[in-house]
Amino acid sequence: ATALYALAVSAPAAGPDALAAAAETATRCASACIGNRAHALGAAHCALTCASLDALRALAPHAVAAHGEAAAPLIDGAVQAAIGALENRVAPAPEPVARAAAWLLLAAAKTARNRPWLANSPQIAQLADGGAAALARQVNASARALVYRAGVAARLAGESTRLNE
């Protein structure tokens, strides 16, 4: 988990290739942790899940700034990971995981503002069109407000894109 935080801090300064590799690593780690519901295995696995989501939250805006439209798959993967963490399949995610996923959704939605290629992505559009409200009903109170804010940010990103066209 500590390595993911260090990676998130150092990768943007290392250049675009290192940034892309770090973002891909964080995406794979988050997807694996969430897909396997690793947080149910104990505190260490919960910390790893949170660290991977936090690393994605830190890396996503830098990746978009460095790579432009080529970063769209990264953002889509990050949003899918966050949605997967918030979905209530068997039991709700623990509060730290839900909060980290909600922060990631908010960061992705804010990154989409004034970027039509990102604001029109299916995952961001889903957040804007009620997906955030559906997710918010499945999480605890501390994450709920962040998920609603992500939905509003996604909606504003889509509207600003339509106004600029």
Confidence of residue 138 (pLDDT cuts 50, 70, 90): confident
**pLDDT of the residue at 32:** 84
Q: In terms of C-beta distances under 8 Å and separation of at least 24 residues, what long-range contacts does 112-115 make, across chains too?
A: 112/75, 112/153, 112/154, 112/157, 112/158, 113/153, 113/156, 113/157, 113/160, 114/157, 114/160, 114/161, 114/164, 115/64, 115/157, 115/161
Report the C-alpha gap between 40 and 99 in whole angstroms. 16
What percentage of the chain reaches a pLDDT higher than 90? 5
Q: Is the pTM of this model over 0.85?
A: no
The mean pLDDT of 124-146, rounded to a whole number, is 83
69-120 pLDDT per residue, tens:
888 888 888 888 888 888 876 667 788 888 999 999 999 888 888 788 888 8
